[in-house]
RNA sequence: CGGAGUGUAGCUCAGCCUGGUAGAGCACUGUCUUCGGGAGGCAGGGGCCGCAGGUUCAAAUCCUGCCACUCCGACCA
């Protein structure tokens, strides 16, 4: 992509409403634009990141055996009356009427709808287990939206729902998602710690929140510092195996959000120098809730003995749009965003310091074509801006690599390769630079 | 929903107290100089001063109502 043709409205000054780093940087980097309180448009650069995160989530869901479908944003109120949540949900739910004055709502979550789909289609225990997900926009009319997309009213969420015949099966489904979440966040370059959590209005009695530690997080969290050193998971976890040992390991040490925090236990179980008490960003939340919805909504299957059994369910959410902000909170510096490579909007920023100079133009065109041909995503700054402004923009939008092509090096066929995270710079020939980037 | 604020150019803000021709910096357009870490000169364009009512000869400025947005709290992926 040529920067001269790219819609990238970067801001030199910080908009007044932004309080935290991720919100400031997303506005300044031209990733989002507020439409209304807690409701944002995603501009091209922001959408690229959102899509990358979405794709990683999708791949890991598929790998763990979940199947993607897509449910609507608008749901009929009647389904929610069946589960009893139409009245329970309160003003957070956006209620609307269609032209026939039928009560509808913009979905804040999808348990009712998925249960409805399931009960109409599945009759036998032989069809279990099932795990279905979608990645869809949700709306929750928060009392106080804030922090940009971190607590928006409209947000993109991956939510999935597991259906099992019995507790043992449900437990395995829960464990699969537990492991899939560890892997998902790890792939994005994030350290997310599973913590014991309240299950809230969704109900149920087994629940973990996946938390990124960050001072600007919204909830207070307490955990054992050793979690930060836990090594990566196996490349390809075998989801058919018993996953309990992995889950046990990741729940072996103290970790709790404030609502489940027990100060006495914390002090008893965690040595003083290993105690972390900080704030965190919830990026995922998993629940087991048994027959809470299947019972009232009549989602049953015929068991092996011929009797009707309500299915055991769980639900699992990842805040896809929140992860964009969460990643920035976890990875930025004074100059701007520092994207982990897997979610970076482009891998390389190619900076032509002197468009119009034959040597610079030639080298840039060559690199741009070769990198593009190799499938490397490149943002090519071919604008007439001054060098300082170009560097500032590149640092702000935080691409992992910058290739700087200026007349000084160009006449010897050399370019400068800069790593955004480390700040290391190397002067290299073209082939060497290509080798490092492909 | 309680409390506190803010709405003036694309962005950051001044002007409001004490009513009298709409301002600055950045951004934008043209041009010249400069050109390896957010350059400088000259010349320009851009405003329903949140909306509606009221007071007044006269309202961005004073009064009333409404709307929007932000912050603190209670609530939450």
Instruction: Encode pLDDT of A407-434 as tens digits.
Output: 999 999 999 999 999 999 999 999 999 9
The encoded tokens of residue A73 equal: 């944003």
Is the C-beta atom of A414 closer than 7 angstroms to strand B? no
pLDDT of res. A166: 94
Is the C-beta atom of A392 closer than 7 angstroms to strand B? yes
Is the C-beta atom of A11 closer than 7 angstroms to strand B? yes
CA of A15 to C1' of B15 (A): 21
pLDDT of res. A260: 85
pLDDT of res. A202: 52
Is the C-beta atom of A146 closer than 7 angstroms to strand B? yes
Share of chain A above pLDDT 90, in %: 79
Given a cut of 90, whether residue A271 has pLDDT beyond it is: yes
Mean pLDDT of A30-57: 95
pLDDT of res. A293: 87
Mean pLDDT of A166-172: 94
Of the candidates A32, A18, A11, which has an alpha carbon nearest to the alpha carbon of residue A324? A32
Is the C-beta atom of A389 closer than 7 angstroms to strand B? yes
CA distances from A421 to A28, A31, A230, A318, A392 (A): 19, 20, 22, 26, 15
pLDDT of res. A27: 94
Given a cut of 80, whether residue A203 has pLDDT beyond it is: no
Confidence of residue A43 (pLDDT cuts 50, 70, 90): very high
Q: A68-86 burial by CB neighbour count: b if 16+ within 10 A, else e?
A: eeebeeebbbebbebbebb
pLDDT of res. A204: 55
- A 10 A CB-CB count for A188 gives 22
Place of tokens 């004055």: A101
What DSSP string describes A328-362?
A: HHHSEETTEE---GGG-S-SEEEEESSTT-HHHHH
CA of A114 to C1' of B67 (A): 39
Given a cut of 90, whether residue A85 has pLDDT beyond it is: no
Confidence of residue A201 (pLDDT cuts 50, 70, 90): low
Q: Which residues contact A400 (CB under 8 A, 6 or more apart)?
A: A339, A340, A341, A344, A347, A348, A419, A420, A421
Mean pLDDT of A77-86: 90
Is the C-beta atom of A143 closer than 7 angstroms to strand B? yes
Residues 283-312/A with CB < 7 A to strand B: 283-285
- A 10 A CB-CB count for A182 gives 23
Place of tokens 């530690």: A213
Q: Which 3 state secondary structure label does DSSP give A223?
A: strand
Rounded (10°) angle between helices A21-28 and A320-330: 100
Given a cut of 70, whether residue A136 has pLDDT beyond it is: yes
The encoded tokens of residue A168 equal: 């043992």
The encoded tokens of residue A161 equal: 């729902």
Residues 230-259/A with CB < 7 A to strand B: none
For residue A11, which nucleotide's C1' is closest to its Cα?
B11
Given a cut of 90, whether residue A340 has pLDDT beyond it is: yes
Tell me which nucleotides of strand B come within 7 A of a protein CB. Answer: 1-2, 11-13, 25-27, 34-39, 68-77
Given a cut of 70, whether residue A103 has pLDDT beyond it is: yes
Is the C-beta atom of A396 closer than 7 angstroms to strand B? yes
Is the C-beta atom of A438 closer than 7 angstroms to strand B? no
Q: Is A83 left (phi over 0), alpha (psi -120 to 50) or beta?
A: alpha
CA of A367 to C1' of B31 (A): 34
For residue A408, which nucleotide's C1' is closest to its Cα?
B36
Given a contact cutoff of 8 angstroms between Cβ atoms, the answer to whether A63 and A174 are in contact is: no
CA of A15 to C1' of B62 (A): 31
Given a cut of 90, whether residue A33 has pLDDT beyond it is: yes
Between A199 and A409, the more confident residue is A409
Given a contact cutoff of 8 angstroms between Cβ atoms, the answer to whether A50 and A157 are in contact is: no
């Amino acid at each position: 992509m040529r920067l001269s043709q790219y819609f990238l409205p970067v801001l030199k000054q910080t908009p007044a409403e932004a309080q935290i780093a991720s919100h400031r940087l997303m506005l300044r980097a031209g990733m989002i634009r507020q439409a209304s309180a807690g409701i944002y448009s995603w501009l091209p650069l922001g959408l690229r990141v959102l899509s990358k995160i979405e794709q990683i989530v999708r791949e890991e869901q598929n790998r763990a055996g979940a199947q993607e479908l897509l449910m609507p944003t608008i749901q009929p109120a009647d389904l929610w009356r069946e589960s009893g949540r139409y009245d329970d949900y309160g003003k957070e739910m956006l209620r609307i009427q269609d032209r026939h004055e039928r009560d509808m709502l913009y979905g804040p979550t999808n348990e009712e709808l998925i249960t409805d789909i399931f009960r109409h289609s599945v009759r036998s225990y032989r069809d279990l287990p099932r795990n279905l997900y979608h990645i869809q926009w949700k709306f929750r009319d928060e009392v106080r939206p804030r922090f940009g997309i971190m607590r928006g009213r409209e947000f993109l969420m991956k939510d999935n729902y597991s259906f099992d015949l019995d507790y043992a099966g449900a437990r395995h489904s829960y464990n699969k998602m537990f492991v899939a979440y560890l892997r998902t966040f790890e792939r994005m370059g994030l350290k997310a710690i599973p913590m014991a959590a309240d299950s809230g209005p969704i109900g149920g009695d087994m629940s973990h929140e996946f938390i990124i530690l960050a001072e600007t997080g919204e909830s207070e969290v307490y955990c054992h510092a050793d979690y930060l050193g836990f090594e990566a998971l196996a490349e390809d976890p075998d989801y058919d195996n018993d996953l309990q040992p992995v889950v046990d390991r990741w729940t072996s040490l103290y970790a709790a959000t404030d609502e489940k925090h027990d100060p006495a236990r914390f002090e008893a179980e965690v040595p003083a120098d290993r105690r972390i008490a900080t704030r965190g960003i919830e990026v995922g939340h998993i629940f087991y809730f048994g027959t809470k919805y299947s019972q009232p909504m009549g989602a049953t299957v015929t068991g092996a003995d011929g009797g009707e059994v309500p299915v055991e369910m769980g639900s699992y959410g990842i805040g896809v749009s929140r992860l964009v902000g969460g990643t920035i909170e976890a990875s930025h510096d004074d100059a701007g965003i520092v994207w982990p490579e897997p979610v970076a909007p482009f891998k390389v920023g190619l900076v032509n310091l002197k468009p119009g100079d034959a040597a610079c133009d030639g080298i840039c065109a060559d690199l741009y074509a070769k990198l593009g041909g190799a499938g490397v995503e490149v943002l090519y700054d071919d604008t007439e801006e001054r060098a300082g402004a170009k560097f500032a923009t590149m640092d702000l939008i935080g691409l992992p690599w910058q290739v700087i092509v200026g007349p000084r090096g160009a006449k010897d066929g050399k370019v400068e390769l800069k790593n955004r995270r480390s700040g290391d710079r190397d002067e290299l020939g073209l082939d060497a630079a290509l080798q490092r980037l492909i």
